[in-house]
């Protein structure tokens, strides 16, 4: 996920477990072959095995609309060791759409198919080429045509975020809308995505779409062990304990790429904003660091939070003893 799931976060989430693969943030492709350093910056895993430290393959995500340029850049990513190429046709951002990237391409099903075909033809047959789409741009009248084109062009997998660009990120996700395009038995490699926040959602999304796999977006950030629990198929499981998770958050703050002083802590704040959904403690930690931009101050806030959290735990324990 652009701006939130960088290499350290991929390492963290995949070490918690349950992921078959993950994708990088965007490699933005215009009309040129990008220098190798761009691929290494966005996918530092390429400097090693191309996998996260937990051994999960990382696919390089390309964003653009020029089939030839996407093809040569895909080939470069593969030459550098990428385990797969993921093509983005889902991004709703104005700046991206204005330069003919992301979800705007869903208005032109043939262009989408042409891009998938160009990339498929460019990279060796054994390297997966995956695509990510939404149901459509304004509506889902062209969904069947888009899906058909992507599959015929030889995509290894297709992930469908079950909303249109017009729907943005507003709930609900329309899992049922995917079912009609799943009638064809060859489409077992279609993955459902959108509004999967817990194990029960993943079961419902698969049942209602008839897809047999799920892709997590924000759910992965709000419940970092969600993929693991989905994998275990345990609908009764609760998210991992906060006292374990807060150590991960602290470590993420220390490890995450802080490219300028002004941005220190931004990714951690963003992660806490997602964690608030499942953890009230994330809200109080967020409030402590919200206005801070210096590493020392933020570290101190983590210490204070830990003390407060332990104190609350003690109080709960003594309550339990009294009653």
Ligand X SMILES: Cc1cc2nc3c(=O)[nH]c(=O)nc-3n(C[C@H](O)[C@H](O)[C@H](O)COP(=O)(O)O)c2cc1C
**Any idea which residues carry the catalytic annotation?**
91
Interface residue with ligand X among 50, 84, 217, 265 (CB under 6 A) is: 217
Q: Is 6 in the site for ligand X (CB under 6 A)?
A: no
Cβ of residue 258: shortest distance to ligand X, in angstroms? Answer: 18
Q: Is 25 in the site for ligand X (CB under 6 A)?
A: yes
Number of amino acids touching ligand X (CB under 6 A): 20
Q: Which residues are CB-neighbours of 259 under 8 A, at least 6 positions away?
A: none
Stretch of residues binding ligand X (CB under 6 A), selected from 107-115, 211-219, 224-232, 284-292: 211-219
CA 219 to each of CA 49, 194, 230, 274, 289: distance values in angstroms, whole numbers, following the listed order: 27, 9, 11, 8, 23
Stretch of residues binding ligand X (CB under 6 A), selected from 137-145, 217-225, 250-258, 282-290: 217-225
Interface residue with ligand X among 19, 26, 39, 253 (CB under 6 A) is: 26
Select 87 or 301, whichever has its Cβ closest to ligand X.
87
Select 105 or 301, whichever has its Cβ closest to ligand X.
105
Cβ of residue 265: shortest distance to ligand X, in angstroms? Answer: 17
Q: Is 10 in the site for ligand X (CB under 6 A)?
A: no
Q: Is 3 in the site for ligand X (CB under 6 A)?
A: yes
Interface residue with ligand X among 41, 107, 179, 218 (CB under 6 A) is: 218
Cβ of residue 102: shortest distance to ligand X, in angstroms? Answer: 9
Q: Is 132 in the site for ligand X (CB under 6 A)?
A: yes
Q: Is 120 in the site for ligand X (CB under 6 A)?
A: no
Residues of span 161-180 touching ligand X by CB under 6 A: 161, 169
Contact assessment for residue 143 and residue 136, using Cβ atoms and an 8 Å cutoff: yes
Cβ of residue 270: shortest distance to ligand X, in angstroms? Answer: 8
Residues of span 39-98 touching ligand X by CB under 6 A: 61, 88, 90
Interface residue with ligand X among 195, 198, 225, 248 (CB under 6 A) is: 195
Select 198 or 302, whichever has its Cβ closest to ligand X.
198
For the chain, what is the HEC assignment? Answer: CCCCCCHHHHHHHHHHCCCCCEEEEEEECCCCCCCHHHHHHHCHHHHCCCECCCCCEEEEEEECCCHHHHHHHHHHHHHCCCCCEEEEECCCCHHHHHCCCHHHHHHCHHHHHHHHHHHHHHCCCCCCEEEEEEEECCCCCCHHHHHHHHHHCCCCEEEEEEEECCCCCCCCCCHHHHHHHHCCHHHHHEEEECCCCCHHHHHHHHHHHCCCEEECCHHHHHCCCHHHHHHHCCCCCCCCCHHHHHHHHHHHHHHCCCCCHHHCCHHHHHHHHHHCCCCHHHHHHHHHHCCCCCHHHHHHHHHHHHHHHHHHHHHHHHHHHHC
Q: Is 228 in the site for ligand X (CB under 6 A)?
A: no
- Tokens matching residue 106: 């869903």
Bridge-based pairing state of the strands 85-89 and 58-63:
parallel
Cβ of residue 245: shortest distance to ligand X, in angstroms? Answer: 19
Closest C-alpha among 256, 276, 274 to residue 266: 256
Cβ of residue 264: shortest distance to ligand X, in angstroms? Answer: 19
Q: Is 193 in the site for ligand X (CB under 6 A)?
A: yes
Q: Is 265 in the site for ligand X (CB under 6 A)?
A: no
The residue ranges that bind ligand X (CB under 6 A) are 1-4, 25-26, 61, 88, 90, 132, 161, 169, 193-196, 216-219
């Amino acid at each position: 996920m652009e701006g939130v799931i960088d290499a350290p976060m991929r390492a963290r989430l995949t070490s918690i477990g349950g992921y078959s693969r993950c994708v990088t943030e965007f490699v933005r492709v215009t009309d040129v072959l990008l220098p190798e350093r761009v691929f290494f910056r966005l996918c530092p895993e390429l400097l090693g095995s191309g996998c996260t430290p937990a051994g999960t393959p990382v696919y390089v995500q390309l964003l653009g609309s020029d089939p030839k340029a996407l093809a040569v850049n895909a080939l470069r990513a593969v030459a550098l060791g990428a385990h797969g190429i993921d093509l983005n046709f889902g991004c709703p951002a104005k700046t991206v759409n204005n330069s003919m990237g992301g979800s705007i391409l869903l208005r032109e099903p043939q262009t989408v198919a042409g891009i998938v075909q160009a990339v498929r033809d460019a990279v060796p047959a054994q390297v997966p080429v995956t695509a990510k789409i939404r149901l459509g741009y304004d509506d889902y009248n062209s969904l069947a045509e888009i899906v058909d084109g992507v599959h015929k062009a030889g995509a290894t997998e297709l992930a469908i975020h079950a909303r249109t660009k017009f729907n943005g990120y507003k709930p609900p996700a329309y899992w049922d809308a995917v079912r009609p395009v799943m009638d064809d038995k060859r489409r077992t490699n279609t993955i459902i995505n959108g509004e999967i926040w817990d194990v029960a959602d993943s079961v419902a999304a698969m049942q209602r779409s008839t897809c047999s796999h799920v892709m997590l977006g924000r759910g992965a950030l709000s419940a970092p062990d969600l993929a693991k629990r989905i994998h275990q198929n345990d609908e009764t499981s609760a998210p991992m304990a906060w006292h374990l998770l807060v150590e991960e958050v602290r470590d993420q703050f220390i490890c995450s790429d802080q490219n300028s002083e002004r941005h220190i802590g931004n990714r951690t704040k963003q992660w806490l904003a997602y964690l608030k959904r499942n953890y009230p403690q994330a809200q109080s930690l967020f409030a402590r660091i919200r206005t801070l931009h210096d590493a020392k101050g933020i570290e101190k806030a983590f210490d204070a939070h830990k003390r407060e959290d332990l104190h609350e735990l003690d109080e709960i324990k003594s309550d339990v003893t009294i009653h």
